[in-house]
Structure 1
Amino acid sequence: MSARKVEQEIAVRHPRETTALFGHRDAEAALLNAYRSGRIAHAWLLGGRQGIGKATLAYRMARFVLANRDSAAPAVRGAESLAVDPDDYAARLVTSGAHGGLLTLERSANDKGVMRTVITVDETRETISFFGSTAAVEGWRVCIVDTVDELNPNAANALLKILEEPPQQSLFLLISHAPARVLATIKSRCRRLSLRPLAVEDVVRAAAEATGMDASDPGLQEAAEASEGSVSRALALLGGDSLQLQTRTAALLATLPKVDPAELHALGDALGTSDRVALASFLDSIERWVAERLRTGDANADLPRLARLAEVWEKIVRAARDTESYNLERKPLVFSVFGMLAEATR
């Protein structure tokens, strides 16, 4: 399968359409056991690296709860997983995004068709009418926030208010790629569930499921081994160009705080003008480099430097979102990113 075909698959596939879960058996068991105990926490914070299956698990849980509204039913008591028959009526409604008992908060397009960089407060306030309505559906109501990292400050406060006084039979599944940065007041009202990066064999199986490729494909195996446990990263790496791009980015990062303008120009050209996969690969390389330094740095001796680096990463994320949302040129982003990193590491 070509890299172009894989990119198209990434663009159209949504976690709610994915019924298979690879890895995360302990996390799945925690949700299942909590539900059938009859005392499930009303809010869960699913944290972990991007692309490892957090959203897939959230929709899997929502599908199970909405298809099995009685937590004491024999089907729930005897369940060994959160799997639901794809032909189940509730499951089909969840997959199509039409279930009245499920609300998803995620970034959306504005009036001009441009993807917003954050989840807005108006969108978050939809939870009030969703949980207050009685006409559409009875029983459990589930709200998935994908991701809580993308709530703007007013939206985060609006979510906090409803988390403080949750309605009966309400379930919030909050997804976060960086749970340490989630508001402490929100975290205090959630049960935390940390998901680990997937094993290579699970990445292979998940990527094969997503693309239709043969799991024995050498390219798929190579991408999985370089993915660091992330399915989305493996999909981005398929085709070889992204692997080369990450190698080039890593070489430039190794020279910081020095930068070579000629190499930055070449890297900007390699990113193209609208290649989302290439941009994602570039950002993955930057994120891993920053995360490694934040993990290994001496928190006492290097606190000011680490704080600067963390602040720079937040700026990079915002700049990258704007670049993708407004389809801006990639080369200025490359120069900006390396300029900020050079300044932060001097």
Structure 2
Amino acid sequence: MSARKTETEIAVRHPRETSVLIGHREAEAALLAAYRSGRIAHAWLIGGPPGIGKATLAYRMARFVLAHGDSGAPAVRGADTLFVDPTDQTARRIAAGAHGGLLTLERSANDKGVLRTVITVDETRETISFFGSTAAAEGWRVCIVDTVDELNPNAANALLKILEEPPQRSLFLLVSHAPARVLATIKSRCRRLSLRPLATQDVIRAVAEATATDPADPALIEAAAASEGSVSRALALLGGDALQLQTRTAALLATLPHLDPNELHALGDALGTSDRVALASFIDTIERWVAARLRGPDPNANLPRLARLAEVWEKIVRAARDTESYNLERKPLVFSVFGMLAEATR
């Protein structure tokens, strides 16, 4: 079976439906040990690059806690992992999004059916009524925030109020692609759990399982090798000519602060008008380029320039979300992104 698929052909299960965790055994063991101790922290900040399994781990933990509400039960004491059989009633209800003990905060569609760019304060305030129910009598209440990076300022403050006075038998699992940018007041109330990018072979296994692709398929192996440990990146690279688009974008980034209008026009044409996989690959390449410069080798070499670059990245993220949400033309985004980056790197 060929791994060269279009976006619509790549069907991937939601993390709430995923029973297999690939990699991250140390992180899983830390969560299991904390729960087994009977003194688990009420909030965890699960951080790491996009697409490496953070949400999958969060749902795996939620599933285990809700299936085994007594941390001292034999099933918990004898467990080696957080695995819960997919046929278990709790697992089935979570997979269907119908478990009363689990609340998920994530971006939702507005009245026009367009995906919002942030998690709103009204959605976050649902946690008040959720945790206000009889959690102690009925068992654990678990809230997954996927991702905390997408909370708008008012939503972040609303979540903070709950974290400051957590109800009994409550568990918050906050997923973050950029833990350093999470509010310090939120971070101070969470135990940190950092996940590293997956090994290439683990990426191959994860993508093969998610898409029913032959693990030996050359296209899958090529995508995994270029994914830098991210399953979502590997999936994006499997869609159409995403790998070629990534190479073209990287070549233009290497010429900054100089700009070639002809090449920018060509890149804008390559992005098309509605291909979300191509857009994701473009933004992903930009993100890795920016992150490499913010990390070093000497991050203090030119602090004003780095500050400008970080500010530009925030603007790029907002512009990309608007482009995707409202299905805007890609070419103006390309010119805008490279214009901002050129200005920031001069």
TM-score by length of 1: 0.97
The equivalent residue for 2:205 is 205
1:61/1:82 contact within 8 Å kept: yes
- The amino acid of 1:163's aligned partner reads L
The equivalent residue for 1:155 is 155
Structure 1: runs of 5 or more not aligned:
none
* Distance in 2 between residues matched to 1:334 and 1:193, nearest whole Å: 35
1:59–1:87 CA distance, 2 compared to 1 (3 A): same
Structure 1 residue 7, shift from structure 2 partner: 4.2
The equivalent residue for 1:144 is 144
Structure 1 residue 34, shift from structure 2 partner: 0.3
1:137–1:299 CA distance, 2 compared to 1 (3 A): same
1:2–1:29 CA distance, 2 compared to 1 (3 A): closer
1:145-184 equivalent positions in 2, closer than 5 A:
145-184=145-184
The equivalent residue for 1:44 is 44
The equivalent residue for 2:131 is 131
* Distance in 2 between residues matched to 1:73 and 1:100, nearest whole Å: 22
Say whether residues 1:315 and 2:345 are aligned partners: no
Structure 1 residue 110, shift from structure 2 partner: 0.4
Structure 1 residue 49, shift from structure 2 partner: 0.2
Percent identity, aligned pairs only?
83
The equivalent residue for 2:185 is 185
Q: CA RMSD in A?
A: 1.4
SS at match of 1:172: strand
> Number of paired residues?
345
Say whether residues 1:26 and 2:21 are aligned partners: no
2:136/2:168 contact within 8 Å kept: no
Say whether residues 1:84 and 2:84 are aligned partners: yes
- The amino acid of 2:242's aligned partner reads S
- The amino acid of 2:55's aligned partner reads A
* Distance in 1 between residues matched to 2:166 and 2:304, nearest whole Å: 39
* Distance in 1 between residues matched to 2:82 and 2:261, nearest whole Å: 52
* Distance in 2 between residues matched to 1:7 and 1:46, nearest whole Å: 30
* Distance in 2 between residues matched to 1:164 and 1:135, nearest whole Å: 17
Structure 2: runs of 5 or more not aligned:
none
Say whether residues 1:325 and 2:325 are aligned partners: yes
The equivalent residue for 1:112 is 112
TM-score by length of 2: 0.97
Structure 1 residue 239, shift from structure 2 partner: 4.7
The equivalent residue for 2:10 is 9
2:7/2:277 contact within 8 Å kept: no
1:21/1:53 contact within 8 Å kept: yes
* Distance in 2 between residues matched to 1:9 and 1:240, nearest whole Å: 11
1:149/1:182 contact within 8 Å kept: yes
The equivalent residue for 1:101 is 101
SS at match of 2:265: helix
1:118/1:151 contact within 8 Å kept: yes
* Distance in 2 between residues matched to 1:239 and 1:46, nearest whole Å: 28
- The amino acid of 2:179's aligned partner reads P
Structure 1 residue 307, shift from structure 2 partner: 0.2
The equivalent residue for 1:275 is 275
Task: Give CA deviations for 1:116-173 in whole Å, capped at 9, x if unaligned.
Answer: 0000000000000001123998100100000000000000000000000000000000
Task: Give CA deviations for 1:307-334 in whole Å, capped at 9, x if unaligned.
Answer: 0000000000000000000010000000
* Distance in 1 between residues matched to 2:197 and 2:337, nearest whole Å: 26
1:7/1:236 contact within 8 Å kept: no
The equivalent residue for 2:305 is 305
2:63/2:90 contact within 8 Å kept: yes
Structure 1 residue 14, shift from structure 2 partner: 1.2
